[in-house]
Amino acid sequence: MKESETIRSFLAIELDKSLVPKILDVQKEFKKTNANIKYVPSGNMHFTLKFFGNIDLAMVDNINTVVAKVINNYSSFDLNIKKCGCFPNKNLIKVLWLGLEDGSPIKDLQKDLDNEFRKLGFKKERNFISHLTIGRVKSPKNKKEIQDTIEKLEDIEIGEMSVYKISLKKSTLSPQGPIYEDIKVFEL
C-alpha cells in the first residue's frame, strides 16, 4: 500500500456472537412484513464508535495513537442490548436498529474518542446514539407493517455482552455488501 492511498474506515465494538440468534429472530419479524429491507449479515453487525469515511493511510497511525491514549482510561464493560427503533423517524424509515440500555459507558467512551478525533480534523458527532444496525429500508413498500413491527418490538430485550476490545476496521464496498477487515484491535 502506498502512503497516499485512502481507505474507508470506522472504529467499532463487535457484536458478541452468542446474541446473534436473538437478533436473527428480530430480523425474521421484519421479514414477515415483506418490505424492501436489506438486512445486515450477522458477521457485519457492530456498534460504531466513529465512522471516519475515506482517510489517507498516513492518518491510521494518528488514529491508533488517539485510541490507545483514550482507552487507557477504560476497562472492559457490559452492554445491555434492548429496544428496537429506526432512523431518522417512524414516518421516514431508513435504518432499523437495536439500542442499548441507558447509562452505558459506551456513550462516555465515544465522547472521549470524539473529542480527541476532532484534534485530528474529524467532525464532531452530533446526537450520537449507540445502536446496532440490523437492516436498511430501501423503499416505502409496506411501511405500515414496518411501523407496526417496530412498535411490537420497541421494548425487546436481547441480552448483555461484555466489551473487552474495540477495532479499527477497513470497509471495502462490494456489490454483495461491505467487507470488513481489522486494521488494529485494541484491548480494554
Name the residue among 9, 1, 2 with its Cα closest to residue 181.
9
Q: Which of 26, 30, 113, 131 is catalytic?
A: 131
Helix (H) or strand (E) holding 51, with range, is strand 46-56
Name the residue among 131, 53, 61 with its Cα closest to residue 96.
131
- Say whether 46 is catalytic: yes
Q: Which of 13, 33, 46, 146 is catalytic?
A: 46
Distance CA 91, CA 112 (A): 33
- Say whether 164 is catalytic: no
Q: 16 near 161, Cβ under 8 Å?
A: yes
Instruction: Write the DSSP assignment of 102-121 as a string of letters.
Output: TT-THHHHHHHHHHHHHHTT
Report, as residue numbers or ranges, the catalytic residues: 46, 131
